Chains A and B, each alone.
Chain A
């Protein structure tokens, strides 16, 4: 039996709060707000069980319930007659709901207290229109069927794929992905994070649409949408982050009043207050390459209908990025520089900059401000010292790979990715010190200032 739940997926994005009506065995009614109702199948919905409450006790004694949801596309309200069937504490549905709540909890510093205990499954016995919440009619054609307007169409995927195929370097590939996401999918804010040097970390390698690029910012597995996507290797789509956060923060306030100390709220790269977020794991043969994160200031930007194409997008991006990483790592350096040498190297001086390397922390600071850490910091320091000592400005990837002092891993060193990160970070932070590719497997340090190197 199909009740039309399939056409009501916009109601299940958590954009507008839902109402849940139950009744105790003694006849006392109960009315409670819900943050989210999940679509299960054509005849079932799921409610998240996070805190013990009266509604849950009621359905245990009297399984009859009613729920009211609103279609954010039309504002039409619906009331559904429900019958409680069962609770699930594992499985794909539980995992999907768990991940969404986990992502919000980590933003709010609420991991552990704001978590899914169970997914409660209800049979939907009937659906009726809410008579006082009459919807707009213009989004309905024919009556009862919603216009589908998925963002991630096959056509857009094909166009993005075409653009990616013309990229010759990892840098060009990442640029083509982010510019394609803006041009073909219409999202102005996106970033790609790749696996970091440290285990269970991701590092922003490319971003688009942010006032400060954020290249080099780290995300731990399990932190926010990006970290939870990485940990679970599953895509997460949050249509109403604002509402989810308000719900979580209300719970946090109550918990704090009881003496519970929350974790520090995590500052993550991206928009300050995104309304919609999509995290796509980039996975090749079970290995996480990175995460694509797309954000929007508009709520409900990602439709249910986009789910399958989003997964395809993740798979194709992951393969393309990994192939490019492998290609660049295998390339022999060109015999002579293909590009003209940069004009800088101290000849055109724009003042003086101090670079300080903190060896114990493996961090390079530029004029007292954080520039970069870990392997890219070690590489930069090695380049700067060589430049100072020998006056040399050109380097090859191979010589870095052979330099044991850099501590590159023997297997999958991701040197080209780290160099790209360093290059992008310098572009963001300094116009006077840059890294410029000058041919296959070759690059030059392009310095337009006097520099002072300090090691601490």
Chain B
């Protein structure tokens, strides 16, 4: 589902959020620190801050539906991945460098459009994380404009 160019885009350090919903179809969501595409693009691992809203994990465990939105701040290129929850675990110490490396890349992007001072994340709790494995079911373009919503994969 996720080819090499798309994988490289998603893993480059983007603004990422995951959306879920509960049994009453009430949406929930939280920020995602980083992602890793696995299994030849069939699955991805989303690293969610442990501090994030517990409702997101509860939703994933109960109904498994997920929507992960990715955007590059410097040009607003955006992609949404729909998927189904497969498993979760605590992110390991070995993964910290990879995860925070993506986060730092996002901050560099924000710096390029003059937002670094405003998005200083010294107080944001982006690590430690839980690693949530998602099976990719669909990919859509979300770049603003008349083609937003077009199926990419």
| Chain A residues close to B by CB (< 8 Å) | 15-17, 19, 21-23, 25, 27-33, 35, 50-54, 62, 64-66, 68, 70, 72, 75, 77, 79, 81, 113, 130-136, 242-243, 246-255, 257-258, 260, 275, 299-300
List CB contacts (< 8 Å) of B121-146 with chain A: 121-126, 140, 142-146
Per a CB cutoff under 8 Å, which of B28, B69, B125 touches A66?
Answer: B28
Per a CB cutoff under 8 Å, which of B53, B118, B145 touches A253?
Answer: B145
A19 in contact with B113 (CB, 8 Å): no
What are the residues of chain B within 8 A of A31 when measuring CB–CB? Answer: 17-19, 29, 67-69, 80
A132 in contact with B28 (CB, 8 Å): no
Beta-carbon nearest neighbor of B118 in chain A: A72
- Count chain B CB atoms within 10 A of each CB in A132, A136, A247 and give the residue with the most: A132
Judge if B76 is at the interface, Cβ distance under 8 Å: yes
A253 to B147 CA separation, bound complex (whole angstroms): 10
What are the residues of chain A within 8 A of B74 when measuring CB–CB? Answer: 246
What are the residues of chain B within 8 A of A136 when measuring CB–CB? Answer: 122-123
Per a CB cutoff under 8 Å, which of A33, A64, A243 touches B113?
Answer: A243
Per a CB cutoff under 8 Å, which of B28, B114, B121 touches A21?
Answer: B28
- With A21-B27, A75-B119 as given contacts, are A33 and B145 in contact (CB-CB < 8 Å)? no
Judge if B51 is at the interface, Cβ distance under 8 Å: yes
A27 in contact with B67 (CB, 8 Å): no
B21 in contact with A54 (CB, 8 Å): no
- With A53-B148, A131-B53 as given contacts, are A29 and B31 in contact (CB-CB < 8 Å)? no
B76 in contact with A29 (CB, 8 Å): no
A122 to B114 CA separation, bound complex (whole angstroms): 30
A53 to B78 CA separation, bound complex (whole angstroms): 13
Beta-carbon nearest neighbor of A136 in chain B: B123
A33 in contact with B53 (CB, 8 Å): no
CB distance from A148 to the nearest CB of B (A): 18
A435 to B31 CA separation, bound complex (whole angstroms): 62
B123 in contact with A15 (CB, 8 Å): no
Beta-carbon nearest neighbor of A66 in chain B: B27
- Count chain B CB atoms within 10 A of each CB in A65, A247, A250, A257 and give the residue with the most: A250
With contacts A16-B118, A50-B144 known, what are 16 further pairs, Cβ within 8 A? A15-B115, A22-B27, A25-B25, A29-B65, A30-B67, A31-B69, A33-B76, A75-B123, A131-B53, A132-B49, A242-B113, A246-B74, A247-B144, A249-B75, A254-B148, A299-B115
- With A23-B21, A132-B51, A254-B146 as given contacts, are A68 and B29 in contact (CB-CB < 8 Å)? yes
Per a CB cutoff under 8 Å, which of A77, A242, A251 touches B145?
Answer: A251
- With A16-B119, A31-B17, A132-B49 as given contacts, are A254 and B143 in contact (CB-CB < 8 Å)? yes
A218 to B114 CA separation, bound complex (whole angstroms): 29
CB distance from B92 to the nearest CB of A (A): 19
List CB contacts (< 8 Å) of B1-58 with chain A: 15, 17-21, 24-31, 49, 51-53
What are the residues of chain A within 8 A of B61 when measuring CB–CB? Answer: none
Q: What secondary structure prevails in chain A residues at the interface with B? A: mixed
Judge if B63 is at the interface, Cβ distance under 8 Å: yes
Sampled A-B contacts (5; CB under 8 Å) = A19-B17, A77-B31, A132-B52, A242-B113, A299-B118
Q: Which 8 A-B pairs have the closest CB atoms?
A: A254-B145, A31-B19, A250-B76, A251-B145, A21-B27, A31-B69, A21-B29, A23-B21
- With A65-B27, A132-B51, A299-B115 as given contacts, are A246 and B66 in contact (CB-CB < 8 Å)? no
What are the residues of chain A within 8 A of B107 when measuring CB–CB? Answer: none
A175 to B118 CA separation, bound complex (whole angstroms): 34
What are the residues of chain B within 8 A of A53 when measuring CB–CB? Answer: 148-149
B15 in contact with A28 (CB, 8 Å): no
Judge if B87 is at the interface, Cβ distance under 8 Å: no
What are the residues of chain B within 8 A of A255 when measuring CB–CB? Answer: 145-146
- With A33-B69, A246-B75 as given contacts, are A23 and B144 in contact (CB-CB < 8 Å)? no
A250 in contact with B21 (CB, 8 Å): no
A132 in contact with B114 (CB, 8 Å): no
Judge if B91 is at the interface, Cβ distance under 8 Å: no
Judge if B71 is at the interface, Cβ distance under 8 Å: yes
- With A23-B21, A250-B76 as given contacts, are A135 and B145 in contact (CB-CB < 8 Å)? no
A135 to B29 CA separation, bound complex (whole angstroms): 18
CB distance from A196 to the nearest CB of B (A): 33
CB distance from B127 to the nearest CB of A (A): 10
- With A16-B118, A72-B118, A299-B118 as given contacts, are A33 and B15 in contact (CB-CB < 8 Å)? yes
A99 to B68 CA separation, bound complex (whole angstroms): 32
CB distance from B56 to the nearest CB of A (A): 10
What are the residues of chain B within 8 A of A133 when measuring CB–CB? Answer: 31, 124
B118 in contact with A23 (CB, 8 Å): no
A132 in contact with B31 (CB, 8 Å): yes
What are the residues of chain A within 8 A of B153 when measuring CB–CB? Answer: none
